[in-house]
Amino acid sequence: MQMVNESGIRVENITIHSGFLQRIVKIDLYQPEELSSLSELSLLLINDGQDMEKMRFTSILDELYDRKEIRPFLTAAIHCGTERKREYGIAAEADYKGRGDKAGLYTSFVMQELIPVLHIKYDVSRFAEKVFAGFSLGALSAMDIVWNHPDEFKTAGCFSSSFWWRSIDQLHPDYDDHKHRIMHQQVRRGNYHPSLKFFFQCGNMDETRDRNKNGIIDSIDDTLDIIKELEGKGYKKEKDIHYLELADGHHDVHTWGRAMPEFLKWGFGK
């Protein structure tokens, strides 16, 4: 099904039967009218794509295009499935409750099924650049996929990310932030790739938990610590890393919608 709004943005709904996930995956494609005339096509993938209508994503694109603040690109918003907590996560390691055990299969779906389908559909041998974004657990998934495929992706967009994802329970007497947060460990063990860029958004009202009692909620602490790990690899603030903290931001679609324009300008600005 295709719909075209007044500005000319076409929204098309497609499905892919994933052999890796053994389910039908729904994808919403947001295509600006300039798409057919582009010599090079860029791609934005978004986890939890079922929330984009609630976010009024088309209106966000309209406003940015009208103000000529972003260049045209294709968006593929991937709807989550009923096993979201198993498919989103870190491919190399499930968390201490076994969540994310299908994250490797989800990565395979993205890389070996979804992207090839888009190559064929839009008749392009390669995308000029690929960006991956997500919200909460979907942000963790996007970060994991981008970090582990630096030759494929340029930017990760991480909104209210689940960077607390850990290998043992935080109530375990041996728990240590430095040792047991899985994404932080991945970055620490990984390599510097100069092409990568990162956008992080947090809200001061994302949550109330403060496990180390430092007066900063965990979601902000965990994100700032990821940034420190990236800086330790050689990435530079503002040049490679953009951090947006919303004082009145909650862990919800409305907040992520408020942050979305800044992310799009960071990733696709003219």
27: domain CATH number is 3.40.50.1820
Q: What is the pTM (predicted TM-score) of this model?
A: 0.94
The whole domain housing 52 covers 2-268
The Cα 199–Cα 244 span in angstroms is 8
| Token couple for 122 | 């839009």
Q: In what order do the strands lie in the sheet with 155-159?
A: 2-4, 10-18, 23-31, 74-78, 43-46, 130-135, 155-159, 197-205, 241-250
The dihedral through the CA atoms of 107, 111, 112, 116 has a sign that is positive
Angle 41-45-49 from CA coordinates, rounded to 5°: 135
Torsion of CA 47, 218, 236, 57, to 10 degrees: 30
pLDDT for position 242? 98
Q: Would you write out the chain's pLDDT as a tens digit for each of its 270 residues?
A: 555 444 579 999 999 999 999 999 999 999 988 776 677 899 999 999 999 999 999 999 999 999 999 999 999 999 999 999 999 999 999 999 999 999 999 999 999 999 999 999 999 989 999 999 999 999 999 999 999 999 999 999 999 999 999 999 999 999 988 999 999 999 999 999 999 999 999 999 887 886 877 877 788 999 999 999 999 999 999 899 999 999 999 999 999 999 999 999 999 997
pLDDT for position 4? 46
- Beta carbons of 157 and 141 less than 8 angstroms apart: no
Q: How many domains does the chain have?
A: 1
- Beta carbons of 156 and 147 less than 8 angstroms apart: yes
Radius of gyration of the chain (CA): 18
- Bridge partners of 131, per DSSP, are 44, 155
pLDDT for position 218? 81
Q: How many CB atoms lie within 10 A of CB 46?
A: 26
Torsion of CA 55, 114, 104, 136, to 10 degrees: -10
| Token couple for 193 | 């790739």
